[in-house]
Chain A
């Protein structure tokens, strides 16, 4: 039995097949909590941040959060932390479902995978037995095929499988790691690192739940939180009914719904592709919940042709929809299903096709390059489906798409077409109409990302209070607090959506009761600040220049052409210096010695 304030790590050397157990110090757990924080600390201590991300010298860490596997609401998440091949920054990608909790039940808080196997293998941790097994039979198989096959191999359909699809094997730079077929550690190309190690899957099954905490005391806190989450308009009503796709119309009506590769801020055909349309067209079959989740925002969907799967979520529906100018919800959902089956990050996949469409329409890509593929024209349903498959298998022009929009646009001599930060494609909010979100994109430690500090919540949704999206004053402070709190939520293994309803005090109560800590809210947020700074140090050591804390030229210089924010640009230059000050960094964006000492990072 493992207490939550103690930790056990499994170290797996894929090169020589050695497997060892190591204890994790209590001090580290108190300082970094678990998950994203603890794994980032271990990665920073163990690898040279300058390593080639796809070389055997990189390490891949599967980490459960501090509260993963407990009764904490949504406490089932795990993170994959490594150096990312798309960005060259630290990468940490987070997934729900049930794999994380099952991993925790095995008694291991974290698995660190090193080196590279000679031939395809999978790691099996079943009923206390840890083994590396031959995966030759499933190399080349899709995510659902691999999942079904490995559950049969271990003889237990309750075994949880986290694996890569063909995209990870082919080292597509934005390949995902998928668990239970449809849940994704999606962003930053963690799947490509797994593929580079010849590791197809991790399979976990525990015959007893090796997690020890005061269950009675925790359930009292959880009951209170469940009531809050159920009664909240967002987590109790909006998300269960419409999922994340409730946002299509909200973001479009606010004029920040990036359309045709961020060339416009509103999409005329939004009614055809929105969350409401998913329900009205009859594609939505049922809601789906992850481990210990009272929200149930997942979407089980079925197309008229009988194809079924999960999604689309808001970001996925947008990247293949408005961003590609496509108004065909059937094709968008099909492209999403394919990403899940082939193991691709939906945001980068769709946004890279959108960039390619702009490059094609502006004559930077010749038709001959597409070989037998359809023309890359905005609005083409055929193109989004065809090139999703082509990029996963690196077939034809798909081989160039598999490198992501930044490398593609640079290669074609028109970098402006890549709507990315630190080479990772931006998600579905145009920062010209939400200034704080722009600052968050520019300073995210894993490249362009919305879930490192979701400023849409205060700037658009009005939660916990409504901020004027064009106001600059106070935004650096908000961004910092959101980034720090997010680092905490990721590290304790809960879902970020709980923060629509829960407060920092609520997370503190959970952590203290479950792990026996006595942290104040300030100390908990300081852990988030520490994690954020540690990730920053990794990136600086990796050679990421702070001048990359920026946004694509289009967003800084070209005013939004339409909608309520028509005429606005992202005013990052006015926000960034104050953000650096707020973070305790010097004017070059480097953490000061005082700040590092304060956070015990020196």
Chain B
């Protein structure tokens, strides 16, 4: 009797699920939820969930269903998870991707199935150039853009020579290339470290010191940024050679970097104190919903991704089969971004401003990131000419 009861229940559920799915907007979310960089994935998920709360958990009148998948920071796993979302979950959108190498491995599966992919962080140069696709949008940047802004700032500071250090993977190469494209002085050294396993930078720091450069530029996202900064300070280099960064100091790494990060500049397209209304609401509600945590740029980009998708779904009144109409709507970037208004280039990469951020003690004596100046406005990536899309 009992068995029969369960069977009936299970059958009812099995029948009910597909019927519900057709009436909902399905979103797959691929990010890193395990290992040392899981904190980044958590921040992205938190922000995405907050955006859904703000949207009433509905888009175009339909309930939203999100499936979170963990890529473990590994390209092969990211590809498998993307294939699973496309083929068996049949999602309407895939969002996320912290790591450029994971995104590059996963890209083809999404594009071939004509599923919209919104990168909320990774921006490999290939994605902006020859691999651009009508189905791929970014709510972040192309990797080179942020370090390009830093290169411009170093020119303003009158720096004549720089030593570059970064991880040896897709994004690391883009980042160092980005600085080199705008920095007018001399590049006296360029070191790539094994990613993500190498955490000891003593050899590279010794070489930087021996190079007698005016400045060091680094790109180390996640926990590696903490490790690099610790070792930079312990080596006594903070008094010798100033450090310029991209994606190395953020709200996740700052509580671990502490005073070591004070006064070290970085470039970013979003800072927590940007004065627009959407951003104030995002930051305040985030801190209310997740006590003890602060949102990062990873989160801001994920929050924007939810709103970008919402704009498309609303435009087609919830009919997610109208892909052309959704694409046309997303190309307008017709939503209120927490970084302020931006436009899309024809390769679906934002044309946007980059700010100089600094680490300061706020009114409560806590370390926080602060906008100091706008380095560049309407920055467009260098690869859009290579994109065949019109």
Our verdict on whether A and B bind, yes or no, reads no
